[in-house]
Amino acid sequence: MKRVVLLGSTGSIGTSTAKVALDLPDRIRLVGLAAGNNAKLLADQARQHCPEAVSITDPAQATKLREAFGDSMEVHQGSEGLIKLATLPSADIVLIAIVGTAGLQPALAAIRAGKDIAVASKEILVMAGEIVMSEARKHGVRVLAVDSEHSAIFQCLDGKPSSSVRNLWLTASGGPFRSKTDWPKESFRDITVERALKHPSWVMGRKITLDSATLFNKGLEMIEARWLFDIEMGRVQVLVHPQSIVHSMVEFIDGSIIAQLSTPDMCLPIQYALTYPDRVLNERVQTNLAKLGQLTFEEPDLGRFPALKLARHAGEVGGTLPAVLNAANEVAVEAFWDNRISFDQIPEVVGRTLDRHRVVEHPDLDQILAADGWARTNAVVG
Ligand code: MG
């Protein structure tokens, strides 16, 4: 039985995790749930899963939950509440699926309390990969991937060290603007928010869907892979695979390529992270390759999708630069969402911000958060 704390229980990954827990009641028990502001769904989840503790951002909503649940569970609030849950004594593993930088402190707190962590929030490894991985080594805990790509690579590697790897191949659907003929570079200026939100293969939150359209999502994943699998950026590659069936691959030094395949369903990588190292029966995911017929692959178009180049650069330089990449992208996506900039200006904003940043090497957490703040005020928008 894995006793799981789920931070970000009402989001897209959070609700899928709750489904997996209901699928496998003998294997997974949700002992803690934390949500941002969806108190209604958090209360529903608490009734269904009976956790020991919950946490919600707003103190007024926490008070209401205390009134509704009485002594049957602890109710925490705010950022201290996230730390309380991340260090809950009975938890074996903390799954972090909070959007933004709010997951960073709880991730480190969980590691220092000796808990394994499962990472769904990109910011944790992109911003603080060096610190998170070295703390995890120091405390002898695992950092497991929940993202489909990193879960695939983890499954393909099967414990082999990075010295046996020629390349990691992260697959990308290519997003809604993959086709060069339908969407030439000149047309990127006119792409609307509504159009960019139509992702061809995954249903996800709004930020990650827009990041999939620019390929910044894949860029952030390259940096995550670099830290998770202890490998330099030069051996982290991206391959466009529109069907999203091959979730990623490992090319070993002897020339063998091992891939992990399935129909796209986040429940599978979530389940694997929570039942690892076991394979556990679940009929949810069914993949009919004959029916799918064809799997195709193509090189990413770096001219139309400069996000990949920017991310590679930020990952190679390291230090505080990946944090700046992440923050500048958030600012740019927000500005696009509000119609203040056009779609093709998103990577321009990020590129200009990277150019202006003075990198701090081997930063501590305060320096990382300072770089994040600097990028948020200095990302040139408009
Ligand atoms: Mg992904």
Shared domain check, 14 and 161: no
Record the tokens describing residue 280, joined without a space.
Answer: 């556990």
Number of folded domains in the chain? 3
**Cα 147 to middle of ligand 1, angstroms:** 5
- Answer with the one of 300, 317, 334 that is the final residue of a domain: 317
Shared domain check, 157 and 137: no
Distance from C-alpha of 20 to C-alpha of 146, rounded to nearest angstrom: 13
- Answer with the one of 123, 145, 167 that is the final residue of a domain: 145
**Cα 202 to middle of ligand 1, angstroms:** 9
Widest pairwise Cα distance in the chain: 62
Which of the 8 DSSP states describes residue 149? Answer: H
Residues 6 or more apart whose CB falls under 8 angstroms from that of 35 comprise 8, 9, 10, 14, 41, 42, 54, 55, 56, 57
The overall average pLDDT reported for the chain is 96
CB-based contact 212:175 (threshold 8 Å): yes
| Alpha-carbon distance values, 301 to 175, 245, 292, 307 (Å) | 12, 20, 25, 10
**Cα 85 to middle of ligand 1, angstroms:** 26
**Cα 248 to middle of ligand 1, angstroms:** 10
Give the pLDDT of residue 382: 52
**Cα 291 to middle of ligand 1, angstroms:** 24
**Cα 148 to middle of ligand 1, angstroms:** 5
242: cis peptide before it, omega within 30°?
no
Shared domain check, 256 and 139: no
Shared domain check, 158 and 228: yes
**Cα 64 to middle of ligand 1, angstroms:** 36
Give the pLDDT of residue 201: 67
Strand partners, 33: 6, 54
Shared domain check, 237 and 290: yes
**Cα 7 to middle of ligand 1, angstroms:** 18
Would you give the end-to-end CA distance of the chain in angstroms?
52
CA atoms 354, 135, 21, 259: torsion sign: positive
Q: Which helix (H) or strand (E) holds 238?
A: strand 236-240
Residues 6 or more apart whose CB falls under 8 angstroms from that of 3 comprise 29, 31, 90, 91, 92, 93
Give the pLDDT of residue 73: 97
Shared domain check, 124 and 58: yes
| Confidence tier at 202 by pLDDT (50, 70, 90) | low
- The neighbour count for residue 361, using CB atoms within 10 Å, is 11
Give the pLDDT of residue 203: 66
Distance from C-alpha of 212 to C-alpha of 142, rounded to nearest angstrom: 28
**Cα 170 to middle of ligand 1, angstroms:** 9
Shared domain check, 190 and 323: no
Distance from C-alpha of 335 to C-alpha of 353, rounded to nearest angstrom: 14
pTM, whole model, 2 decimals?
0.95
Query: Does position 286 have pLDDT exceeding 90, yes or no?
Result: yes
The DSSP result for 14-66, as a single string, is: HHHHHHHHHH-TTTEEEEEEEESS-HHHHHHHHHHH--SEEEES-HHHHHHHH
**Cα 171 to middle of ligand 1, angstroms:** 9
Q: What is the pLDDT of residues 92-121, one digit of tens each?
A: 999 999 988 899 999 999 999 999 999 998
**What mean pLDDT is predicted for residues 73-77?**
98
**Cα 325 to middle of ligand 1, angstroms:** 17
- Answer with the one of 145, 162, 193 that is the final residue of a domain: 145
**Cα 249 to middle of ligand 1, angstroms:** 13
SS3 for 157? helix
**Cα 122 to middle of ligand 1, angstroms:** 9
**Cα 130 to middle of ligand 1, angstroms:** 20
Question: Which range marks the domain in which residue 368 is found?
Answer: 319-382
Shared domain check, 204 and 169: yes
Record the tokens describing residue 356, joined without a space.
Answer: 């202006």
Q: Could you tell me whether strands 74-77 and 28-35 are parallel, antiparallel, or unpaired per DSSP bridges?
A: unpaired
Shared domain check, 155 and 121: no
CB-based contact 51:95 (threshold 8 Å): no
**Cα 146 to middle of ligand 1, angstroms:** 9
> What is the CATH classification number for the domain harbouring 372?
1.10.1740.10
- The neighbour count for residue 297, using CB atoms within 10 Å, is 13
**Cα 373 to middle of ligand 1, angstroms:** 25
Shared domain check, 187 and 129: no
Shared domain check, 183 and 109: no
Query: Does position 205 have pLDDT exceeding 90, yes or no?
Result: no
CA atoms 67, 69, 70, 73: torsion sign: negative
**What mean pLDDT is predicted for residues 145-153?**
96
Shared domain check, 213 and 286: yes
**Judging by beta carbons within 10 Å of its beta carbon (0-12, 13-18, 19+), is residue 69 exposed, middle or buried?**
middle
**Cα 377 to middle of ligand 1, angstroms:** 28
Give the pLDDT of residue 206: 82
**Cα 68 to middle of ligand 1, angstroms:** 37
- The neighbour count for residue 352, using CB atoms within 10 Å, is 16
**What mean pLDDT is predicted for residues 114-131?**
96
Distance from C-alpha of 128 to C-alpha of 77, rounded to nearest angstrom: 25
CB-based contact 354:158 (threshold 8 Å): no
**Cα 336 to middle of ligand 1, angstroms:** 22
Give the pLDDT of residue 238: 98
